[in-house]
Amino acid sequence: MGSQGGDPAKAVDEMYEYGYRKSDYGPDELVTDAHGNPISVTEAMMDAKEAGRAETVTPHLCYYSPRIPGNTGSAIRLCAVTGTILHLVEPLGFNLKDTKLRRAGLDYHDMAHVVLHPDFDDLVDSMPDSRIIAFTAHATKLYTEVDYRPTDILLFGPEPGNIPDPMDVMAGPHVSEQVRLPMRPSLRSLNLTNCASIAIYEAWRQLNFKGGR
């Protein structure tokens, strides 16, 4: 790798080209490259126009203004293993370098399935020909009663909290369908990414798990 008797620092730097991990990476970094070295989150993410043109085997997943970093971390991994593109619409309730995201063990392969939008209109403009299917407890139609397409966007609102559901987004004119997951009455809702997982796998099942094994 390096010539004997040369500069030791240069020899060490050359080692990193062969996949050795650097020891001085910042503790707050979220993602790493193929060699385990930290890179910025934005460098790893997809561009909105690129995501709009991408051919996918599952519908796209959208979290509108998510608030809990652990849910988003789990969704990023869900999308990485299913080939789904995850759209996050600001404002977010956390920093993308939050430690709870890091605990999901994410790397740049996972983040390559993520798009960050400054607002909902940016999502709509980037995928104007896609159906938006909103998952909401206010719906009467079940999620299994939809024939899903890879170009669909499955829309989920923010986790329950002090901010009311954004019904202008979840029931706006851009929404083609409103659907719900069945639950026993008088019980709290499922975890957000549990709901998204059920929806993504139902859609992927309908599409014969194309691209999976």
Number of residues in the chain: 213
3 assigned ligand-binding residue: no
157 labeled part of a ligand binding site = yes
Q: Are 65 and 210 in contact (CB under 8 A)?
A: no
**pLDDT for residue 24 is more than 80:** no
Q: Which residue has the tokens 């593109």?
A: 85
- Band of the pLDDT at 101, cuts 50, 70, 90? confident
Say if residue 181 carries a ligand binding annotation. yes
- Cα(177)–Cα(170) distance, rounded to whole angstroms? 10
What pLDDT does 166 receive? Answer: 81
pLDDT band at 38 (very low <50, low <70, confident <90, very high): confident
Domains and CATH numbers, the chain: 41-206 (3.40.1280.10)
What's the Rg (C-alpha) of the chain? Answer: 20
Residue whose pair of structure tokens reads 């920093």 in the numeric block = 95
Q: Kindly report, residue by residue over 116-169, the tens digit of the pLDDT.
A: 999 999 999 999 999 999 999 889 999 999 999 999 999 999 987 655 568 889
Shortest CA distance to 201 belongs to which of 140, 157, 154, 159? 154
Is the sign of the CA dihedral 22, 23, 26, 31 positive or negative?
A: positive
The reported pLDDT for the residue numbered 1 is 43
DSSP helix, strand, coil percent of the chain (3-state; round to 5):
35, 15, 50
Alpha carbon 134 to its chain centroid, in Å, reads: 16
pLDDT of residue 28: 54
Residue 2 has pLDDT above 50, yes or no: no
